[in-house]
Structure 1
Amino acid sequence: MPLDTHSESPPPPGSGSAPMTSEPEAPAQQPGQRPPRRRISRSTQFVLAASIILGLTMTLVGQVVSTTVERAAVQSAAEAGAVYMEAFLEPFVQELVVANELSRQSIEAIDRLMVNGSLNRHVVSVKVWRADGKVLYSTDKSMVGKTFATDEIAEALRGRIVTGLEELDEDENQFERRLNTPLYEIYAPLREFGTGRILAVGEFYEQAEALEREISNVRRQVWAVVGAATLAMLILLFVIVRRGDRIIDQQQTALHQRVREQARLHARNTVLQRRINTANHEFSRVNELTMRRIGADLHDGPAQLLTLILVMLDDFAEQQKERGEPVTDSQDSTYEVMRSAAADALREIRAISRGLVLPEIGDLTLDEELHLVAQRHEQRTSTQVRLELGSLPAHAPLPLKFCIYRFVQEGLTNAYRHAGGQGQRVSAQYRNGQLTVEVADAGPGIAKADMLAECLGNTRLGLAGMRYRVEALGGHFHVSSVPGQGTTLTAQFKL
């Protein structure tokens, strides 16, 4: 059927392409396996995807432009042909105002125009249609008087020019098919002079060779422009993406190097940290052994000598009494002073040695150790210590046991010294791999100036020693105190 140039063209089909995914890196080749496929670069993947998308898009654009150009060319030729048709045929159809058929004189005049006029150089066939589809005139005389129902006649009767390059396979095109030449047909309304009323429809068939050559040239030009634009866009995009791909590769290489360096540093730091922890544990063990040896030396050395002095003083006094030698008040006073000083020195040395030598805690659990240190403090000070012990690990390193024993011992001593033993409490719990030990009292607390000194590290010797012991084993030491509400010492260890 002929193409109506005034009808809307159907919307072009949407185009799309399947997303392309990069291939994962193949594992190392094993004996007997096929070599892994080489990974396609990002720029190549982009070019492939862009080629598909741009190819489909530009194909659609080229098709739309070509179709539009073809319609415009045919429509332009049709409008020019309609002008010829109106100039040649409208004078002969004016008699249809009062008649239903063309007169013989009009038919013969149209035949002469087709034979001798300039119209026959391009037009090979002419028909004049009545409004009811009857053929009033035709170059093929066998068609005259026949009636055909065509949509083109209806469109032309509404005042439109209908044209198109067709296969001419309808019944009313038998004569035109026999010419065996490319044709395009034009339907145009033929109007009454003065009123513009449509009296008939004129149809003529014009040779389409020149028009087809023109359309083919325009199509080649359109596709050449579309192809060149597509290729230019692909090259430009490839250059941009290739440059970005190289930058990404460089950054990935640098990042991988940094990650490897960080991994090496982390491994080295882990080894160093492990060595530091081992050294701290060994130092703590050696320190406890040294303190134990010092305590034993004090007990076995000066303490024994002082004991011997006291025994000798008592023996000397006893011998004087047996010999009946008189003892003056001055001698008696000197004797008592010497004996009292020696006894006081002996008590202090024994107290120091007891403080330096820990009980045998190697075979004790943490729970038993905390009960022991609380019990010893209660015996020495005649005060009460409240124990709040949760679920504790069954086994712990010996340096950790030494540290916890000293921490609790020093904390309870401070509680007795500064809080008079009020509200003494020892708590311990083990959660999520972390051991927390607290020593608290209900005394007056630590003054703000002392707390500031603790935060700045300028703290008392006892707190400094506790902090050192805890942090030497990788733990965290914290002091919390509110004036009038007491003090809490906290030690946390990661097991």
Structure 2
Amino acid sequence: MSFRTMVNTTDILSSQGFPAKIWQFLRHIWSGLSLLTQFMILVAVTVLFISAISNKAIKQIAATSLIESSLEVEQAMARSLVLPVLGQQPLVGDLENEVETMLRNVVTRHLNPHYINKIKLWGVDGRLLFDSDQEYVAADTLDPTVQRVLEGETVIVSNDTELHENITNNVSGDLVYEVYMPLLSLDGKLIAVLEAYCSSDLLASRIQATLKKIDQMRFGVLFLGMLLLAALVFYAQKHIQRQENQLLASMRATENLAQRNRELLKQSEDIRRRSSEANEHLLNHIGAELHDGPIQLLSIAALYRGQADIERQDNPLQEKAQHLFQKALQELRNISIGLILPELEDASLCEAVCKAVEAVKQDWDMTIELEISPTDCHLPLPQLVVAYRVVYEALNNAWKHGTSSASKVTLSISSRQFDIKVFNLVTPSACQVANEAPEIRKFPYYSVGMIGMQKRVQGIGGILRVVETDGGVLVHVTAPILEPDASETDLGGT
């Protein structure tokens, strides 16, 4: 027993009453044993209990159910030994000395004391003629039991020590049976009455000796069976233990795999966030370069062109070139404005959507219906940027390809996600199929510019859907609400 088990046992014995302490102590010891030991203890206790009960029942069984059959055997044995000595004539009066000597030789040499303790011989006149233990003087009165035998019965009674004839009997045992049997000649005449004394203790000892041999064989078979059963239980215990170890190893491997999957998912989310940040940083850089480079040069060229046009205003080609030049400059400015985002660092989701709508209104003469959720939330910057660009790109596509200048933007926010919907009527012939995105080919009114939008939405874990409804196109974005991370920083050096 380990030190920890001893400490626990001491705690159990000191925390409850004495009977409860003993019971808890035994239960604690029992639970600490192996399955094989518990099984062997139970089998041993059961066998000992059954053996004790069976040994106590042997004497009672011998005195009741087996006594009659044994007495019949002993009657036959006594008759076969005594009848040849007595002859065929009824016994009346005293026995001859020769006959008495022969009877004593039969008792001494041939009568088994383990079956018959002693015998008496009664004459047909009811007198006691012979006693194997002593010289006997005939009784004055006739024994009633002998009288019954003279009338033809065989009587078995318990030994009555109060009778005059039994006072001097030297018979051992708690229970002794007296068997009175008639001795008949070959022609059926009554010769004498034989009384045999049989002790039930001797009968029980014989039965016990026989059962002892049977018990030895039974114990040997039982012991062999217990060994085989113990081996089977030992094998089963080892097999169960091996399966338990395999199950624990499998559970540990599954737990490690789940932990690894969680780490990979976290890394994937981090990579996706950084990719979105890098994309926005690149777009901002491109927008700044367009603004500081080509747009500035075109602005200077337009200034000089304007001066040249003042001197020659009647040249129609100059006017046409000036018009196209101004249009190209406006397109570059629109691209630059779309790439360079407004300040979204401290903005909420509703503010980001409103800024996208206002930017489109400044670029185009559009009527935009805006429905904002009454609840607001703050998101990480990559999610705000995606929400802004989704609204901005969808409204620009609505202006370029729609049949009406009216559009509708809806923002709804729940506890776990937000939904942005942009709806506008479109002309099918004014749109093209996005061959680069097979998953959205079933929407023929989807422009190529929406491919980038889909990539951005996927970058924040969202879903972009395009639904044809009521003669128009509904751009629907659903994305999870992520908690802003104060430790988020832009990619250094990008």
TM-score (structure 1 length as normaliser): 0.61
The one-letter code matched in structure 1 to 2:47 is M
Structure-to-structure mapping, 1:342-491, within 5 angstroms:
342-377=325-360, 380=364, 382-389=366-373, 391-393=375-377, 395-414=378-397, 417=401, 420=404, 424-431=408-415, 434-441=416-423, 456=439, 461-473=448-460, 475-479=461-465, 481=467, 484=470, 487=474, 489-491=476-478
Which of residues 282, 294, 300 in structure 2 aligns to 1:290? 282
How far apart are the structure 2 equivalents of 1:487 and 1:24? 74
How far apart are the structure 2 equivalents of 1:178 and 1:452? 127
Contact 2:398 2:426 in 1 (8 A): no
Residue in 2 that maps onto 1:81: 71
SS in 1 for 2:34: helix
Aligned: 1:247 with 2:239? yes
Which of residues 207, 214, 229 in structure 2 aligns to 1:237? 229
Contact 2:181 2:195 in 1 (8 A): no
C-alpha deviation, 1:493, in angstroms: 2.3
How far apart are the structure 2 equivalents of 1:438 and 1:143? 131
Residue in 1 that maps onto 2:297: 305
How far apart are the structure 2 equivalents of 1:451 and 1:61? 90
SS in 2 for 1:358: coil
Identify if the C-alpha distance between structure 1 residues 409 and 124 changes in structure 2 by more than 3 Å, giving closer, same or farther.
farther
Residue in 2 that maps onto 1:278: 270
How far apart are the structure 2 equivalents of 1:414 and 1:45? 77
Residue in 2 that maps onto 1:134: none
Structure-to-structure mapping, 1:176-325, within 5 angstroms:
179=170, 181-182=172-173, 184-186=175-177, 205-208=197-200, 210-320=202-312
SS in 2 for 1:492: strand
C-alpha deviation, 1:477, in angstroms: 1.1
C-alpha deviation, 1:123, in angstroms: 5.1
Identify if the C-alpha distance between structure 1 residues 215 and 337 changes in structure 2 by more than 3 Å, giving closer, same or farther.
same
The one-letter code matched in structure 2 to 1:384 is I
The 4+ residue runs of structure 1 with deviation greater than 6 A are: 23-27, 39-44, 83-89, 105-109, 115-121, 139-146, 168-174, 187-191, 449-455
How far apart are the structure 1 equivalents of 2:408 and 2:204? 110
Deviates more, 1:367-376 or 1:281-290: 367-376
C-alpha deviation, 1:70, in angstroms: 7.0
C-alpha deviation, 1:482, in angstroms: 5.6
How far apart are the structure 2 equivalents of 1:242 and 1:370? 72
C-alpha deviation, 1:344, in angstroms: 0.5
How far apart are the structure 2 equivalents of 1:142 and 1:480? 135
Deviates more, 1:379-388 or 1:61-70: 61-70
The one-letter code matched in structure 2 to 1:466 is M
Identify if the C-alpha distance between structure 1 residues 219 and 482 changes in structure 2 by more than 3 Å, giving closer, same or farther.
farther
The one-letter code matched in structure 2 to 1:465 is G
Q: What fraction of aligned residue pairs are identical, expressed as a percent? A: 19
Contact 2:276 2:382 in 1 (8 A): yes
Contact 1:185 1:204 in 2 (8 A): no
Contact 1:408 1:426 in 2 (8 A): no
TM-score (structure 2 length as normaliser): 0.61
The one-letter code matched in structure 1 to 2:35 is F
C-alpha deviation, 1:204, in angstroms: 7.4
SS in 1 for 2:379: coil
Structure-to-structure mapping, 1:65-76, within 5 angstroms:
67=57, 71=61, 75-76=65-66
Residue in 2 that maps onto 1:46: 35
Cα shift readout 1:153-178 (whole Å, capped 9, x = no counterpart): xxxxxxxx999xx9x99989996898
Contact 2:379 2:481 in 1 (8 A): no
The one-letter code matched in structure 2 to 1:491 is T
Identify if the C-alpha distance between structure 1 residues 396 and 183 changes in structure 2 by more than 3 Å, giving closer, same or farther.
same
How far apart are the structure 1 equivalents of 2:37 and 2:164? 49
Higher RCO (Cα < 8 Å, 6 or more apart) = 1
Cα shift readout 1:186-230 (whole Å, capped 9, x = no counterpart): 599999xxxxxxxxxx99751345423322223323433443344
How far apart are the structure 2 equivalents of 1:295 and 1:78? 123
How far apart are the structure 2 equivalents of 1:174 and 1:351? 146
The one-letter code matched in structure 2 to 1:436 is F
SS in 2 for 1:385: strand
How far apart are the structure 2 equivalents of 1:349 and 1:280? 30
C-alpha deviation, 1:342, in angstroms: 0.6
Identify if the C-alpha distance between structure 1 residues 390 and 476 changes in structure 2 by more than 3 Å, giving closer, same or farther.
same
Identify if the C-alpha distance between structure 1 residues 248 and 363 changes in structure 2 by more than 3 Å, giving closer, same or farther.
same
SS in 1 for 2:367: coil
Contact 2:457 2:477 in 1 (8 A): no
Contact 1:183 1:205 in 2 (8 A): no
Identify if the C-alpha distance between structure 1 residues 206 and 298 changes in structure 2 by more than 3 Å, giving closer, same or farther.
same
Contact 2:179 2:198 in 1 (8 A): no
Contact 1:70 1:215 in 2 (8 A): no
Identify if the C-alpha distance between structure 1 residues 86 and 231 changes in structure 2 by more than 3 Å, giving closer, same or farther.
closer
How far apart are the structure 2 equivalents of 1:237 and 1:487? 76
SS in 1 for 2:330: helix
SS in 2 for 1:481: strand
Contact 2:179 2:197 in 1 (8 A): no
